Amino acid sequence: MSESSITLEEDILDLYRSPIIGASYNNTFGEENIKSLVEKFRSLDKEKMQIMQDLVVSYSKSPDLATSFVSVAVLHALEMPKEVEEAYLWAKGLDENEKFIYHFDIGKSLAEYFT
């Protein structure tokens, strides 16, 4: 991976972490994180868009609920239904599948409302 893609990955991870989900009324479900990630994606050139898309797709299958939930919302906002469906299929195989699927549904709704 080139130095610029490592920096891009760090920038993207910062957008997942800040602001902290649930720390404020305005970011109860990661609304700010979703908006920031979508805006970041739309500001990139084609090459960096592909890097970010690959990262978000991989994060959509994270065992960390907040990470996968935000990722699914971002993918939905960016109109990537195949990637969203893949995340749902992945979640169905988890022990806590109902919790993940419930949050994915919330994320999709948030993406439609906030992006």
Q: pLDDT digit string (tens) for 8-26?
A: 999 999 999 999 998 888 8
pLDDT for residue 59: 98
Please give the average per-residue pLDDT across 61-74, as a whole number: 97
Q: Where are the domains of the chain?
A: 3-114
pLDDT for residue 29: 87
pTM (global) more than 0.85? yes
Share of the chain above pLDDT 70, in %: 95
Please give the average per-residue pLDDT across 80-87, as a whole number: 98
Please give the average per-residue pLDDT across 31-52, as a whole number: 96
- Residue listed under structure tokens 């994060």: 59
Q: What is the mean pLDDT of the chain?
A: 93
Please give the average per-residue pLDDT across 83-108, as a whole number: 97
Looking at per-residue confidence, does 42 or 1 come out higher?
42
